Each structure stands twice: as C-alpha cells, then as structure tokens.
Copies of this chain bind each other. A is one copy, B any other.
Amino acid sequence: MFRTHTCGELSLKNLNEKVTLSGWVSVIRDKGFMVWIDLRDRYGITQLIIDEERSEQSLFETAKKLGREFVIQATGTVIERSSKNPNIPTGGIEILVEKLEILNESKLPPFTIEDKTDGGEELRMQYRYLDLRRNPVKNKLIFRHQVAQEVRKYLSEKEFIEVETPVLIKSTPEGARDFVVPSRMNPGQFYALPQSPQTFKQLMMVGGLDKYFQIVKCFRDEDLRADRQPEFTQIDCEMAFVEQEDILNIFEGLTQHLLKTTHGIEIGKFPRMTYDEAMRKYGNDKPDIRFGMEFHELDDLAKGKGFDIFDKEELVVGISAPTLNSYTRKDIDRLLEWMQRPQIGARGFVWVRVNEDGTFKSSADKFYSQENLAAFAERMNAQKGDLMILMAGKASDTRKQLSALRMELAERLELRNPKEFAPLWVVDFPLLEFDEETNRWHAMHHPFTSPKPEDISKLKSNPGEIRANAYDLVLNGNEIGGGSIRIYNKELQSQMFELLGFTPEQAQAQFGFLMNAFEYGAPPHGGIAFGFDRLVSVLDGSETIRDYIAFPKNNSGRDVMIDAPSAIDQAQLDELEIGLKK
C-alpha cells in the first residue's frame, strides 16, 4: 500500500497517528540539522520533517538525494507544528518521518510547478503533464468534471436519457467542413465525423425517446480562429411534444442549477429579448447585459441639419459612455482611430462631450446647436461628464461597429463585474440570412429549424422576414447555447431544402433518411445544444476555452505533445486505397 492518507487530509485530529503518504517533492528546506519537505499530491500539501534529535541519520542521506518533483513515499507520525500555516488545511501538523523511499526520480522541470509559474504557454503545453500538477490547471479540470456531473444529474432527474450517437457517420455538404475517415472495409468511401448529432437526435424523437441528451464530442475541420478547437464538446438535447416555452423553462432551470451548485448563486427568471431588439439595442445577438450603454437611434434628431455625413446614411445611432469627460481631445482621437482600424472599419462619427456645466462640445458644432445636442443627450439619457458617440452608415454595419466600441469601452472603463452572471435569452431569430457571396439563402440556425407557424406563408414571398422559434442562451456576452423548434413534416422540410438551393434529388440523397422518418409519425420536437467548453469556462469566470481541455490542440490543429497529425505508412495508405497528391 502506497499511502494511508492523501496529502490534503491530515490535521490536528490525527495527532500521533502513524501514517504513510506518497507524492511529489514540492519544496525542500535543508538546514543541516533539520530538513523540511513539502509533499504534494492532487489533494494538498503536507509538511514532512526530519530532525537530528529525533530522526535516524540515514533519512538525511536519502533526503540529500531528493530534488524537486521526485516521487517519494514517507512513513511517520503526525505531530503538531511549531509554526503553523493557517492558509492550508494541513497547516497545523507535520509528519515526523521514520521511513523515506524514493519511488521515482525527476529531471529538473522546465518551469516551476507553482500557482504562478515562470513557464510560457508553449512550453507548458509541450510539458502538459507537468502543467497539470499546478493548482490553477488541475482545478479547471476538476471544475469541468463537476459541471458535467451536475448537468447529468439535473437532466436525469428531468427524465432525459443520455444516448450515445455514432461518431462515424455520413458526410453532409451543409455547414462547416467535415473531417472525413476513409473506410478500409469500403474502399473509396468515407465516414464523416459529426459536427453535431442533430439528425440522430431528431430520429430519436421520431423513435419516441421523448427526452434525450448527450455530452458529446463534435468536430469541425475549419481554419482555427483563436481559442477554437477542431474537436469540441456539446451538451446536446432534444425533447418531443414541446413548444419553445417548455424548452426555455427546462434549460433555464439547468443554468440556474449550475450557477447554484458551482457558485451558490440564485438567479431568478432570465430576461428575454428578441433578436431584433438585441441588434437594435446592442448591435449584437449575444449582448453582455452586465452593463448598459445601450444604443439610441437618432435619425429624427440628427438628420436634416445640413450635416452631409449623417444625412445621406441609412442610420444614425449613438451611445453615451460614462465618465469619459476625463478623456482629452487626444484620447478621443485615439479612440476614434481605434474605431477606424480595418478590423472595425468605422467611419462617419461625431462625438459630443457633456460638460460639467451642462453645455455641450461636439466635433460637429458647425451643424448642431446646443439645443440639438441637448436633444441628443436627452434621448441617450447622457449625464454630465459623459461622452456621446454618434455613428452613421449602413444600419447592419454601423450597429456592428458600435457594438465593438461598446465592448471596448466596457473593457477600458471596467464596466463588467467578473463575479456577476447575467443570463439572457435571445429569441425570434430570423430563419434565413441571405449570403451575398453565394447569392442564396442560408439557414441561420440550421436547415431543420421550423419557421414560426404564422410566418410559413412568407416562405415563397419574403423569406428574409420569416422568423423562427430559434433561441440562444447568452451568458455575460457569450453564446453558451442555441436551439430551435424543428420541422417535423416532410413537405415543409422539402420546401426548406429547396429554398436553401438543394434539388429534390440532393435533398433526398443527403437527408432522405430523416425526411422519410417524418412520414412515420414524427412528433413535434425541438432542442438545444450548449457549447460545453465555453459554458464551463464562462461559469468559471474565464473566457479561455483551451484552459479547460486536458490536452488541447494549438492554432494549427496540432496536438503539440504527441506531435499529431503525422505522416502514416505507405502500407496503411495502400490498404485504404488512397494516395497523397503532391
């Protein structure tokens, strides 16, 4: 037996007990006549002591051989510590060592195994097994485990059953690129890895399973943006005989349950906002509502005063930023320059300072009188000391740019409380969006989302105006979940594919298995999927997904530690009957 206790559990209650501990040498202090060792395992740190008066000489010899991260086993007696450490649970005691064994040696680690390490990210990824020994890293994985457990507990209590769906499935042309897997038993043919278990969960609803969930790996062969992984985890859910309201209630409950069990926070009913309102008020379909700074439209007040830049544009919209009166003219210029960067691409803006004396100073004083500016301030509820920023342009672009500014100001002004959780349902998403590049309609959520019944008549006449019973759950400005009520009628599903540019033959070839299933008594159904990696990181107050994955891939999609992907043998390629192009 390697240990009687872990390094995190002994206290004064265990005084005089004979114990055996195993773990890693975290720190050694050698005073010659006395040696202290901080022994570390997953559960904590316990101090070992060897001293001249009470310990055998041979222990000093073993101790001399030790280095950081050596794995040792120590047997001894729990004694009271003279100088206690109140910061750790074991800080009242130490172990007077009687037997000491080196279980394994360690080279000097390339970075310090401490909460604050001197290792850069790349090095820590290369030696991920050492990084995992650090509390901040280990604790994130434990947190993830706890969240997964609570998700399963909540959903099981609500009679959901977790069902595994296949990982080797059929490639579909919709959406992001599939990873494909050549089949040796069926040469020339390929499986695809699922981007989501969407069609399978719908088949399960046709199959009467009623309430399904799964915490499941999904895959996307996309060029990787920062902090996006080619393999990611979803909480995937589907329910039969439900309307949007039923789904929102269940998953609002799940989110409340998670906030309660992970943080002890009780949050009441979640606010809801339509997609239209979110875009108008925040220029964003996942607004962070921990702070205000909402948009105000000013067309009626700002146009027609001879200011050409505003007059000719579709939309004039502004925000009022608090406490920016300390901004000098130069600061403002820099802020406006920031907005003009290609990533934001804003142009056509005006600033208006609300002076402490109630007067206004603006960059367009030539066109707007103090009265005009006062009307702006009233609309925007701007206070003394605020800085109003007005922008004009094409409505959709301008809102997006102003949203970027709003988030930037929140960052600079520290308007977001990292301890606060502000959930929000965004509902009534448009069913379709027109893609200029491919010159056709795309499904905003996915092709299985149902139009709102009252909008079905617009399928031919005005597709852009159709709304869907589609919803996103937003937490602190992060989209953590999204779903919809689905189509469950073959005819409507066919129309949908037609609208998305499929020929009937293509639709049948790709999704016939689902549409055919709809002919055998498909119940009304809908669902939701949560990005589990993001959910966990947002719940933990972080936005770095990668930290919550034990062995993440880098931005080139590579597993750095194991050096994958890699070349494979010609013999293996031959067996698969594929060849590499030059």
Binding site for B on A (CB under 8 A): 1-3, 6, 22, 24, 40-43, 69-71, 103-107, 109, 127-133, 138, 141-142, 144-145, 148-149, 152, 156, 161-171, 173, 177, 179-193, 199-200, 203-204, 206-211, 217, 219, 221, 223-224, 230-231, 233, 241-243, 245-246, 488-489, 513, 517-524, 549-551, 553, 556-559, 561-569, 572, 574-582
By a CB distance below 8 angstroms, the chain B residues around A209 are 42, 132, 138, 141
A577-B580 contact in complex given A162-B145, A179-B168, C-beta closer than 8 Å: yes
Check if B132 sits within 8 Å of A204, measured CB to CB. yes
Of all chain B residues, which has the CB nearest A208? Answer: B133
| Chain B contacts for A129, CB-based, 8 A | 203-204, 206-207, 517, 520
Q: Which residue of B lies closest to A182 (CB)?
A: B180
Supplied contacts A2-B241, A129-B204, 13 more A-B pairs, CB within 8 Å: A2-B243, A24-B208, A41-B210, A71-B521, A145-B161, A145-B163, A152-B152, A164-B217, A170-B562, A177-B572, A180-B576, A181-B565, A577-B580
Chain B contacts for A223, CB-based, 8 A: 185
Residues in chain B near residue A488, CB distance under 8 A:
104
CA distance A165 to B242 in the complex (A): 35
Chain B residues whose C-beta falls within 8 Å of the C-beta of A132 in the assembled complex: 204, 207-209
**A504 to B: closest C-beta gap in Å:** 17
Residues of B contacting A191 with CB < 8 Å? 179, 564-565
**Least Cβ distance of A145 to chain B in Å?**
4
B192 contacts A184, CB within 8 Å?
no
> Which residue from B6, B180, B230, B582 sits with its C-beta under 8 Å from A568?
B180
A24 contacts across to B, CB distance below 8 A = 208, 521, 523
Assuming the A-B contacts A521-B69, A563-B513, A580-B578, are A181 and B207 also in contact, with contact meaning beta carbons closer than 8 angstroms in the complex? Answer: no
Residues of B contacting A145 in the complex (Cβ-Cβ under 8 angstroms): 156, 161-163
- Please state if B567 and A105 are interface contacts (CB–CB under 8 Å): no
Query: Is A107 touching B559 in the complex (CB atoms < 8 A)?
Result: no
Whether A217 lies near B564 (C-beta < 8 A) is: no
Chain B residue with minimal CB distance to A552? B166
Known A-B contacts A130-B520, A557-B185; the reply to A171 vs B219 at CB < 8 A is no
A148 — which chain B residues lie within 8 A by C-beta? 162
Q: Contact between A559 and B109 (Cβ–Cβ < 8 Å)? A: no
Q: Which residues of B contact A180 (CB under 8 A)?
A: 181-182, 568, 572, 576
Pairwise interchain contact A179-B181, C-beta atoms closer than 8 A: yes
A184: chain B residues at CB < 8 Å are 177, 221
A109 engages B557 (CB within 8 Å): no
Closest 3 CB pairs between A and B?
A132-B207, A106-B521, A170-B564
Asked if residues A167 and B231 are in contact (CB atoms below 8 Å), the reply is: yes
- Could you say which of B105, B138, B170, B564 contacts A192, with CB atoms under 8 Å apart? B564
- Find out whether the CB atom of B521 lies under 8 angstroms from the CB atom of A104: yes
Q: How far is the CA of A577 from the CA of B579 in the complex (A)?
A: 9
Which of B152, B210, B522 touches A71 (beta carbons < 8 Å)? Answer: B522
Contact B181 A163 (CB under 8 A): no
A1 surroundings in chain B (CB, below 8 A): 243, 245-246
Output the nearest chain B residue to A160 by Cβ-Cβ distance. B145
* CB contact between A524 and one of B6, B103, B578, B579 (< 8 Å): that residue: B103
- Contact partner of A133 (CB less than 8 A), chosen from B40, B131, B187, B207, is B207
* Chain B residues, Cβ within 8 Å of A519: 105-107
- A246, closest chain B residue (CB): B1
* Interface pairs (16), CB distance under 8 Å: A2-B241, A42-B208, A71-B522, A71-B524, A138-B209, A164-B217, A177-B575, A180-B568, A181-B193, A186-B556, A188-B567, A190-B566, A190-B567, A192-B568, A217-B217, A579-B579
Residues of B within 8 A of A567 (CB): 188-190
Chain B residues within an 8 Å CB radius of A572: 171, 177, 180
List, in ascending order, chain B residues with CB within 8 A of A550's CB: 163-165, 200, 204
In the docked arrangement, what's the CA distance between A151 and B520, Å?
Answer: 36
Task: Report the separation of the CA atoms of residues A185 and B563 in the bound assembly, to the nearest whole angstrom.
Answer: 14
